[in-house]
Structure 1
Amino acid sequence: MKVAKFGGSSVADANQFRKVKQIIEADPDRQIVVVSAAGKSASERIKVTDLLIEMERAINDGDDFSKLFSKISSRILKIRDDLNLKLDIEADLNEVAKHLNGCSHDYLISRGEYLTGKMMAEFLGYYFVDAKDILIFDGDNLNYELSRQKLLTILQKHQNILVPGFYGSNEDGSIHLMPRGGSDITGAILANLVDAQLYENWTDVSGILMADPRIVDHSKKIDVLTYEELQELSYMGVGVFQEEAVRPVRQKNIPTEILNTNCPSAGGTLVVSKEKHLNNNIVTGIAGKKNYIVITIKKYRLSKHLEVLQKVLAVFQKQHISIDSTPSGNDGFSFLCQRGDVGDKLKLIIQELKSNCGVDAVNVRENIALVAAVSLKLSSRPAIAGRILNYLDESLIKVKFVFQDGSDIKVVFGVNNEDYEKTIEKIYHESINSIAQKISA
């Protein structure tokens, strides 16, 4: 049994629906299908989910939201009519309309997946399963055992099912929304629950590329990578696969394939367990993010003053700022946070660090980009990191810092924002052309 998830671009209009049907009918093992809400298309430049968010904002502000609801309804009805479906989707739209005033955020924002799923189930001839009836959450955690029981009970009666992504339900029956991009998570969870032989994630790209194609022309596709590598690349900004969707399939060592709805014959990227890793590249992938602030605290014999670090961490926690951290010498520690998270709080943070934490000094560097080279081989071949550093030095790229985290499969280089693209290009081209030849096993 395979689980196939289709993202918003794959279900954006009737033509995309037809592509999905061709894919499903090509393999009878694709018995569980998951869909996102209708996304952007050539004629529709706004995702249905974004329209729902905009409508919720209008409702909360007391503004007229009728035009937005009409736009959503027209979009859904057009897909239905273009496919010549006999589905009474008007009844579902009327049900949503009745709940607009006073409904929960989670209910409203999940309706894009619900409505798209109803139409796709009808089009495929699959049995529609409302996600709230099988994916039961206790707080933020899925009740796997209860959810598995509910799903298997349905599969005993229906061989092929369609489940809308992005939501489930709380124990009281209310809708529970997952993080944005949650349809990836839904598909991964369902694959876990049925011990699927393969989880297919259909998007608008033919797998994951080694580097951002906006930076590196004709970047090579990654044919095979491990769950660990995918998780690190997702964390560093590769947006093809939701980071939180890795865990459910990784727990069961279920292979995951990232494929292109618009070009199924092109193949994709296969994600496998470490034991089955087949990739011979020295560097698997390169990813990064711009606009970091690096705040370094100095304290003589800092390792003997853990209470200082506790106070520093409390400052960031108080301001609700997510951080990465790394040692920067015996007497220093650096904290990395994104500019957007800090906002206008930087002066306040620095003041609190200097006044209340018992540090000797606070240094700040802004406009820093992080570039990560990810490879399973980094743990056994540390010379790779040094070779990359030499390449960057030869290109006159000023590297502010380098760190390799506890996973041992990712090395991160801190550079100025203006050197971000150049750094990725250099690592990519040298990885392709030189590293395999210059570093001995």
Structure 2
Amino acid sequence: MKVVKFGGSSLANGEAFQNAINIITSDPQRRVIVTSAPGKRFADDIKVTDLLIKYAQTVIAGQNPQEIVEQILNRYQEIAAYFGLPADKLIPLAERLEGLPNHTYPNDNYLLAAFKAHGERLNAQLMAILLQHLGYEARFVTPSEAGIIVTGTPNNANVIPETYANLSHFTFNENELLIFPGFYGLTLAGHIATFSRGGSDITGAILARGLHASTYENFTDVDAIYSANPQIVDHPQPITTMTYREMRELSYAGFSVFHDEALIPAIQGNIPINVRNTNDPEKPGTMIVPDKDFQPSDIVTGVVSGKHFAALYLHKYLLNKQAGFTLRILEILAKHNVSYEHMPSGIDDITIILDRNAINDQLIDTICNEIQEEINPDRLEWIDNYAITMVVGEGMRNRTGVIDDILMPLAEKHIAVPMINQGASRIAIMIGTYNEDADEAVRAIYHRFFAN
């Protein structure tokens, strides 16, 4: 049995729905379907999730939401009309959407989560209705029925182990298609709470693990995961097969097919993940598999850079002789709820790499001032234009000279490398560069390993 997830662009309109239905019905192993909310139909379009957020904000402000409700309903009505679905079949969806303001919510955050989740919920319900209309045995299944239980905050939920026990007892007819909405679960008190980034991907991974799927197929709008960003490297090589570890390392610096944390339930269940293109489903896409017994065909699987980093550099003589020096710095970061990404160090130097998106200028000044007072370093420098390039491949693990092969093309391009770090797994090498050099660094490394 396969779990199949469709992204928002794969369910944006009637034609996209038809493509998805063709995919679902072309393989009898595809029994569990996870839907996202309808995405953009064209460049200037608005995602249904964004419309639902606007709906929630309108209700919170005490304003009349009728216009935005009609706009949301129109998206689903257009899809239904494509299939000639009788109008009365959409009455349950309209009643559900219009009735959202009448429910009782613990606070506005719960209200927002409940409204947002209905993009996926209504789309799953519509998918089940359309499949039944076309003569297929299909059932709409809510997270409540399946037992998808979460904790955390209303708009940043986390699945709990009880969910997998619930799913192990979930019964279904082996011939029916089960249509699940992605993106949300139920709290222990019975309220809707949404996952954060990659919400529908998370639901798909949870179901794949909990229902012991043979494969988790993630349909999106790309043919495969590529060995480099196509916006940086012309026609990069598609990755046929990669390991979970490689995906995690590459996602960290910028692979954006889906958020890497969304895969964790499937990884924990050792479920192979197949990334495929809804618009070209005959292409094999990319398989993401456990690393056990994996035999790499290339030295490097992918190279990617992220420009959303910054670095705090400290220099102090005899730093290595001072017990607790690093702890004092980390306590300052912890006090301000700032996590660090990496901390390469030398005898007298430490570089603390941070996610620039998670820290503002005022907090930077505050932290630097406190470090200066507490540590009194000989030199303290904030580097704002920091980029990290990840070179990743299971084939690097037992290969000598890889670092030379990475650094040589950078030297030829006169690209400065202020930091280099190799993880204990030996499948990833991290290169620190400045933002203005990041794209050229990716191209240089890519051509060294792939073009040659």
TM-score under structure 2 normalisation?
0.90
1:91 maps to which of 86, 92, 95: 95
> Once the two structures are superposed, what CA deviation does each residue of 1:319-338 show, in whole Å capped at 9, x if it has no partner?
33332122231122211123
Matched, 1:228 2:224: no
Matched, 1:117 2:124: yes
How far the C-alpha of 1:58 sits from its partner, in A, is 4.0
Matched, 1:136 2:154: no
User: What letter is aligned with 1:98?
Assistant: N
Mapping 1:302-341, distance limit 5 Å: 302-341=319-358
| Equivalent-residue separation in structure 2 for 1:138 and 1:382 (angstroms) | 46
Answer yes or no: is the 8 Å Cα contact 2:80–2:130 preserved in 1: no
User: What letter is aligned with 2:424?
Assistant: G
How far the C-alpha of 1:362 sits from its partner, in A, is 1.4
2:421 maps to which of 388, 403, 406: 403
Mapping 1:116-265, distance limit 5 Å: 116-125=123-132, 126-133=138-145, 134-139=147-152, 141-150=158-167, 152-155=169-172, 159-265=176-282
How far the C-alpha of 1:8 sits from its partner, in A, is 0.5
In structure 2, the gaps of 5 or more residues are 133-137
The range that moved more, 343-352 or 50-59, is: 50-59
Q: Secondary structure of the equivalent of 1:163?
A: strand
Answer yes or no: is the 8 Å Cα contact 1:10–1:203 preserved in 2: yes
User: What letter is aligned with 2:253?
Assistant: M
| Equivalent-residue separation in structure 1 for 2:254 and 2:274 (angstroms) | 19
Q: What is the aligned residue count? A: 434
How far the C-alpha of 1:183 sits from its partner, in A, is 0.7
Aligned to 2:373: 355
The range that moved more, 8-17 or 314-323, is: 314-323
1:425 maps to which of 443, 446, 449: 443
Residues 296 and 44 of structure 1, relative CA distance in 2, 3 Å threshold? closer
> Once the two structures are superposed, what CA deviation does each residue of 1:192-223 show, in whole Å capped at 9, x if it has no partner?
11211111000000110011111111111000
Residues 399 and 152 of structure 1, relative CA distance in 2, 3 Å threshold? same
Answer yes or no: is the 8 Å Cα contact 1:326–1:403 preserved in 2: no
| Equivalent-residue separation in structure 1 for 2:62 and 2:113 (angstroms) | 19
> Once the two structures are superposed, what CA deviation does each residue of 1:42-75 show, in whole Å capped at 9, x if it has no partner?
2762211122223334444555544333321221
> Once the two structures are superposed, what CA deviation does each residue of 1:95-129 show, in whole Å capped at 9, x if it has no partner?
22434986522211111111111101112232000
Aligned to 2:51: 51
Q: Secondary structure of the equivalent of 1:153?
A: coil
Q: Secondary structure of the equivalent of 2:361?
A: coil
| Equivalent-residue separation in structure 1 for 2:174 and 2:241 (angstroms) | 36
> Once the two structures are superposed, what CA deviation does each residue of 1:358-387 show, in whole Å capped at 9, x if it has no partner?
544312222121111111122322521221
Residues 241 and 171 of structure 1, relative CA distance in 2, 3 Å threshold? same
Residues 151 and 165 of structure 1, relative CA distance in 2, 3 Å threshold? farther
Cα RMSD for the two superposed structures: 2.2
Residues 127 and 306 of structure 1, relative CA distance in 2, 3 Å threshold? farther
Q: Alignment identity in percent?
A: 34
Aligned to 1:274: 291
| Equivalent-residue separation in structure 2 for 1:216 and 1:69 (angstroms) | 43
Aligned to 2:403: 385
> Once the two structures are superposed, what CA deviation does each residue of 1:221-263 show, in whole Å capped at 9, x if it has no partner?
0000001001111121211122112222222221110000011
User: What letter is aligned with 2:417?
Assistant: V
User: What letter is aligned with 2:94?
Assistant: E
| Equivalent-residue separation in structure 2 for 1:315 and 1:218 (angstroms) | 45
Residues 347 and 226 of structure 1, relative CA distance in 2, 3 Å threshold? same
Answer yes or no: is the 8 Å Cα contact 2:205–2:262 preserved in 1: yes
Answer yes or no: is the 8 Å Cα contact 1:378–1:384 preserved in 2: yes
> Once the two structures are superposed, what CA deviation does each residue of 1:360-418 show, in whole Å capped at 9, x if it has no partner?
43122221211111111223225212211111101111112111233322111111211
Q: Secondary structure of the equivalent of 2:415?
A: coil
Answer yes or no: is the 8 Å Cα contact 1:5–1:183 preserved in 2: yes
> Once the two structures are superposed, what CA deviation does each residue of 1:347-368 show, in whole Å capped at 9, x if it has no partner?
2221111012454431222212
| Equivalent-residue separation in structure 2 for 1:318 and 1:245 (angstroms) | 28
Answer yes or no: is the 8 Å Cα contact 1:136–1:147 preserved in 2: no
Q: Secondary structure of the equivalent of 2:292?
A: helix
How far the C-alpha of 1:180 sits from its partner, in A, is 2.1
| Equivalent-residue separation in structure 2 for 1:57 and 1:313 (angstroms) | 38
| Equivalent-residue separation in structure 1 for 2:449 and 2:53 (angstroms) | 42
The range that moved more, 241-250 or 1-10, is: 241-250
Aligned to 1:437: none
Answer yes or no: is the 8 Å Cα contact 1:100–1:108 preserved in 2: no
User: What letter is aligned with 1:391?
Assistant: P
Residues 77 and 318 of structure 1, relative CA distance in 2, 3 Å threshold? farther
User: What letter is aligned with 2:366?
Assistant: L
Q: Secondary structure of the equivalent of 1:373?
A: strand
The range that moved more, 215-224 or 372-381, is: 372-381
> Once the two structures are superposed, what CA deviation does each residue of 1:117-146 show, in whole Å capped at 9, x if it has no partner?
110111223200012332112445433345
User: What letter is aligned with 1:332?
Assistant: D
Q: Secondary structure of the equivalent of 2:32?
A: strand
Residues 27 and 152 of structure 1, relative CA distance in 2, 3 Å threshold? farther
